[in-house]
Amino acid sequence: MYYRRRKFHLIFGISASITAYCVNLMPHTIFLDKLENTVAFYRRGVRLRINNKVKELCKEVMDDLKLPENTQSLIKPFYVFGFQPFQAGTLNKMFGGIIGIPSNFLFHDTADAAVEKLIINNKELDRMREEANDLFNSLVLSKNAQKYVIAREILKIMSNEVYLSAVGCAFWVAFKDAVRCRIDASIDENISQLGLNYIEGGKEYYEKELKKNIALRSLMEKDGEKCYHIDGNEKRWGFMSLPLSERKRFFESIHLKL
């Protein structure tokens, strides 16, 4: 009887682990289209379609990464809601991957950012506050910074991080954190080898990310203090990644050596 119960618990545990793995993987495979539609950027109820300029920029980055045409065809850009890049999916030929381009890629200068209706803590942003100008400045990215972001999201898909995230056992949390940080570092190392433009782009991007978070920390008041450290690094719970300041220092150190 003891061995029957033990066998049952073993089979149940294995089945539960496999089920959890499949459930976590579904948004990146069979439900990828639904995920994309959910996080996409809509303006007045109409989904904003990616423009040719961004398509060409993505193509330029993929060429810089020396991706073959059959791999490039599996990665689709789209505008994602908010100001954070997004990626999902895999290089599986049936489903492919998607990279979410933040809506601030549409901003050419701070005037473009200033005309957007920004809602923070369910209230419209007070444009008269000094931190609002800091926020607007942080949202305008150069072409180099945009190329860095696109390259980073593509390499995340290529790293198969989605399979790591799908592992459901709590025992592996610390392991996953370590691997995730190593993936982040490896991606930045690979991007830095693409040339000075990408190094400068990475450096600029993390500088502005930190400035954006510092501005949000003030604008969001108590909620901001819960989300961000005083230096702009994010307060993370659960899965960890490399701090923004550490990634910025990496590109600064590479830049100084050139």
60-76 burial, b at 16+ Cβ within 10 Å, e below that, comes to ebbebbebeeebbebbb
pLDDT above 70: residue 73: yes
Show the tokens assigned to 98.
Answer: 């998607």
Distance between CA atoms of 78 and 217, rounded to whole angstroms? 28
More confident residue, 123 or 154: 154
* pLDDT > 70: percent of the chain: 83
Distance between CA atoms of 106 and 113, rounded to whole angstroms? 9
> How many independent structural domains does the chain possess?
1
At residue 21 the predicted structure's pLDDT band, cuts being 50, 70 and 90, is very low
pLDDT digits (tens, 9 = 90+) for 93-140: 889 999 999 999 999 999 998 888 888 888 889 888 999 999 999 999
Both ends of the chain: CA-CA distance in Å?
A: 70
Neighbour tally for 21: CB within 10 Å: 15
Note whether 159 and 185 are within 8 A (CB): no
88 closest CA partner among 22, 33, 47: 33
SS3 128: coil
Handedness of CA 127, 131, 200, 192 (dihedral sign): negative
Show the tokens assigned to 88.
Answer: 């999902």
pLDDT value at residue 123: 86
Residue 90, phi-psi category: left (phi > 0), alpha (psi -120 to 50), beta (remainder): beta
Residue 82, phi-psi category: left (phi > 0), alpha (psi -120 to 50), beta (remainder): left
User: Which residues contact residue 36 at a Cβ distance below 8 angstroms, ignoring those fewer than 6 apart?
Assistant: 78, 88, 98
247 closest CA partner among 148, 155, 177: 148
Task: Give the containing element (helix H, strand E) for 124.
Answer: strand 123-124
More confident residue, 19 or 116: 116
pLDDT value at residue 198: 98
Show the tokens assigned to 24.
Answer: 């976590």
Residue listed under structure tokens 């790293």: 159
More confident residue, 34 or 19: 34
In total, the chain counts a number of residues equal to 258
Domain that holds residue 211: 1-256
At residue 19 the predicted structure's pLDDT band, cuts being 50, 70 and 90, is very low
